[in-house]
Structure 1
Amino acid sequence: MSREIYLDNSATTRPYDEVIEFVTHISMNVYGNPSSLHTKGIEAERMVRNAREIVAKSLGVSRDEIYFTSGGTEANNLAISGYLYANPRKGKHIITTKIEHPSVMEVYNNLSQYGYKVDFIDVDKNGIVIVDDLRKKINEETSLISVIYINNETGAVQPVEEIAEIKNSLNRDIVLHVDAVQAYGKIKIAPKKQGIDILTMSSHKIHGPKGVGALYASRDIKLKPVIFGGGQESQLRSGTENVPGICGFGAAVDITFRTIEESAGRCENLKALLLDMLKREVEDVVVISPEGASPYILNVSFLNVRAEVLLHHLETKNIFVSTGAACSSRKQVLSHVLKAMGIKPEIIEGAIRFSFSSFNTEEDIIKTVEAIKDILPKIRIKRGGRK
């Protein structure tokens, strides 16, 4: 079989070799419980503290403002529910966008059943938040705003700093939560300078292990736990710490941030090559990702093609892509993100997301386009007597 070409890095990434080796070392040798008082426990606690310092440094925040979780989904749940439960008098009006990840969208859908009024603000045709809509929806009862920094399906980058400025101009007490799962490690983020109060991150999106994420919460933000038990993570997230995962996350952060600009440049070039080749060599392609989107994500639609059929044909050639968010791609529904952008159903049906990492090469892109050109004539749906 031909060499694997993995272009689904927004779903998950292959861990760095150094991370795998470090996680193995920690699993074999630093296996104490960080809550234990003996030397094995103290050693594990020290390793967790070191990883916490690495994550904190990457954001320019304090170590005590970082809390480890089981991943981005738990971090988003803790950020939203944890804040609202801790601050019931701040107001029961909350605002988010129509293009959020399910781990944010479903939390708000659930909260709407318990007396919270949720407003979902619109986005334009490029998938960018309409800030005037946000401005109109903020009121005296608004307590929390959530916005995804980089959309996981299209790569659209939201104007987080402008959103923070609008929020502060109308009501400084409103807390801004940013889902940075697709942004962390891809762009430089400085929460304190950008007006971000709470920020969520995930390890496996930046070549770290699965099953671990992190939450940044400014020290003046009060949160309540959503998981109860032994009071780990400064009483906010109970459960014995995933020491190998946390240490692997720290190692991945260290490597990622040392090469952040180089990786972004490499992926920008790969994305541009793929886009150029598709436009020149493939018929009936619609580019969905807007200009200025993340260099790591390109969403395009192949007209008169069912995306899942193309995906599986590419898989037979050892090429791996996605039809959208991996967390919800098994559900047979049209993408809520693309629908919010006003994209027609027949275009959504053919939408494929290519997502890149520094492990990818120009050869990967060339072979992927060659495979697409070979597959499309075989699977294009005939409409009105023509292909």
Structure 2
Amino acid sequence: MIYFDNAATTQVYPEVLRTYTEVATKVWGNPSSLHNLGSQASRILEASRKQIADLLGKKTTEIFFTSGGTEGDNWVMKGVAFERAHLGRHIIVSSIEHPAVKESALWLQSQGFEIDLAPVTKTGFVDMEKLASLLRPDTILVSIMAANNEIGSIQPIREISQLLADRPTISFHVDAVQALGKMPIADYLTERVDFATFSGHKFHSVRGVGFIYAKEGKKISPLLTGGGQESDKRSTTENVAGIAATAKALRLVMDKFDAGQKQLLAMKQIIHDELASYPDVTIFSQIEDFLPNILTFGIKNVRGEVTVHAFENHQIYISTTSACSSKAGKPAGTLISMGVHPKLAQTAVRISLDEDNDMGQVEQFLTIFKQIYNQTQKVR
């Protein structure tokens, strides 16, 4: 089996699973309880929070645990909007945001907020001039992803940070779900970023655990009220075992970062160059200014789901762009925003690599691709 769908989810590292199992079986107390088991759980919870904060170069008071990226995006979008509504009701998100951000923005629109979608260039990057033109005195939130989940384009977070430098009334949110472990932290957690969203299963932790970064002093309405957990911001009993596993996963991923980047880029370059040699293949992802692990392409007149299943027949697993919306059968929203014709966008499939993949798998993928390409000659 060859798994090239790591942008959708990653395999849990064995060390991470051992951490989860050990904590779940030995320290099952509620961290809010006063007895010894509760104290043990609380110590593990806070030690995990500190490890994550240290690895990101942030404070422990700025890390809040969630169930994952979708919850984190919803919380930031809605929590910031309602917290800052007295300052204005205008919000800007890019046209290529993950549905967790875009749909949250549309829901806020139904609640009386004004939403503008910042357009992107034909290559998939936020148009800085047009973004600047959308800013208004009553703008309270700008949300731009660090890197696009469908084609891997790295967004100009540093430039946007400079654009917003003299606008303290605007909160700046970055969806960093695809970025962690694939980009230098300084490129998407600048000093100007107020909120950022992360999801554990994207970097080899267990599903159902994530966290947000909320800069000290920046206000956000509570997500859940009740027990007072997470500094009264998200009241529910914390998933201590999952959180400990996520802290372990983050450390492992950061330890592998430098070597992993080189390996990912080398594999992507080989696949990119080989696919580019086929006349009826369109490549939507490039090398420079794109994540080193994501490559999106399409075979002329062959729908993406057909390509996915053709590879699956050989036990090679890829996807039709975003896993969250692939079953809807719609063309990639990012490609449509880039001005790609819908018929061409419907051919798109995404390879997303991981440090655990190797050159042997790349060679096998390219061998099978050639077979599939030849089999689709009549359609093309």
TM-score by length of 1: 0.95
Q: Quote the offset at 1:283 in angstroms.
A: 3.7
Aligned counterparts of 1:292 and 1:136: Cα–Cα separation in 2: 24
Partner residue of 1:186? 182
Partner residue of 2:338? 341
* Residues 157-183 of structure 1: per-residue CA shift (max 9 Å, x gap): 0110111111224x2221100000001
* Residues 107-154 of structure 1: per-residue CA shift (max 9 Å, x gap): 001000111000001000111000111111101100000001000011
Are the equivalent residues in 1 in contact too, given 2:92–2:142 (CA < 8 A)? yes
Q: Quote the offset at 1:377 in angstroms.
A: 2.9
Q: Which stretches in structure 1 are left out of the alignment for 5+ residues? A: none
Partner residue of 2:284? 288
Whichever residue aligns with residue 180 of structure 2, its letter is Y
Aligned counterparts of 1:192 and 1:310: Cα–Cα separation in 2: 36
Q: 1:74-223 alignment to 2 at 5 Å?
A: 74-169=71-166, 171-190=167-186, 193-223=190-220
| Matched residue SS, 2:172 | strand
* Residues 86-112 of structure 1: per-residue CA shift (max 9 Å, x gap): 222121000010000000000001000
| Matched residue SS, 1:339 | helix
Q: Quote the offset at 1:381 in angstroms.
A: 5.5
| Matched residue SS, 2:276 | helix
Whichever residue aligns with residue 301 of structure 1, its letter is G
Q: Comparing 191-200 with 341-350, which one deviates more in the overlay? A: 191-200
Partner residue of 2:38? 41
Whichever residue aligns with residue 305 of structure 2, its letter is E
Partner residue of 1:53? 50
Whichever residue aligns with residue 248 of structure 1, its letter is A
| Matched residue SS, 2:43 | helix
Q: 1:233-248 alignment to 2 at 5 Å?
A: 233-248=230-245
Aligned counterparts of 2:226 and 2:248: Cα–Cα separation in 1: 28
Are the equivalent residues in 2 in contact too, given 1:302–1:350 (CA < 8 A)? yes
Are the equivalent residues in 1 in contact too, given 2:332–2:348 (CA < 8 A)? no
1:269 is aligned to 2:294: no
Are the equivalent residues in 2 in contact too, given 1:321–1:352 (CA < 8 A)? yes
Q: 1:278 aligns with which of 270, 275, 280?
A: 275
Are the equivalent residues in 2 in contact too, given 1:310–1:379 (CA < 8 A)? no
Residues 194/157 of structure 1: CA separation in 2 closer, same or farther (3 Å cut): farther
Are the equivalent residues in 2 in contact too, given 1:59–1:189 (CA < 8 A)? yes
Aligned counterparts of 2:240 and 2:61: Cα–Cα separation in 1: 17
Whichever residue aligns with residue 163 of structure 1, its letter is I
RMSD between superposed Cα atoms in Å: 1.3
Aligned counterparts of 2:41 and 2:227: Cα–Cα separation in 1: 17
Partner residue of 1:332? 329
Q: Which stretches in structure 2 are left out of the alignment for 5+ residues? A: none
Whichever residue aligns with residue 249 of structure 2, its letter is A
Partner residue of 1:357? 354
Q: 2:373 aligns with which of 341, 360, 376?
A: 376
* Residues 57-105 of structure 1: per-residue CA shift (max 9 Å, x gap): 1221100100000001111111111111222212100001000000000
Whichever residue aligns with residue 153 of structure 1, its letter is E
Whichever residue aligns with residue 312 of structure 1, its letter is H
Q: 1:297 aligns with which of 285, 288, 294?
A: 294
Residues 381/92 of structure 1: CA separation in 2 closer, same or farther (3 Å cut): farther
Whichever residue aligns with residue 241 of structure 1, its letter is E
Residues 365/244 of structure 1: CA separation in 2 closer, same or farther (3 Å cut): same
TM-score by length of 2: 0.97
| Matched residue SS, 1:133 | helix
Are the equivalent residues in 1 in contact too, given 2:200–2:210 (CA < 8 A)? yes
Whichever residue aligns with residue 49 of structure 1, its letter is E
Aligned counterparts of 1:177 and 1:357: Cα–Cα separation in 2: 26
Aligned counterparts of 2:265 and 2:122: Cα–Cα separation in 1: 22
Aligned counterparts of 1:138 and 1:61: Cα–Cα separation in 2: 28
| Matched residue SS, 1:89 | coil
Whichever residue aligns with residue 178 of structure 1, its letter is V
Aligned counterparts of 1:107 and 1:340: Cα–Cα separation in 2: 18
Q: Quote the offset at 1:380 in angstroms.
A: 4.9
Are the equivalent residues in 2 in contact too, given 1:51–1:246 (CA < 8 A)? yes
Q: Quote the offset at 1:335 in angstroms.
A: 1.5
Are the equivalent residues in 2 in contact too, given 1:160–1:194 (CA < 8 A)? no
Are the equivalent residues in 2 in contact too, given 1:99–1:337 (CA < 8 A)? yes
Are the equivalent residues in 2 in contact too, given 1:65–1:216 (CA < 8 A)? yes
1:32 is aligned to 2:37: no
Aligned counterparts of 1:264 and 1:15: Cα–Cα separation in 2: 19
Are the equivalent residues in 2 in contact too, given 1:323–1:352 (CA < 8 A)? yes
Are the equivalent residues in 2 in contact too, given 1:71–1:211 (CA < 8 A)? yes
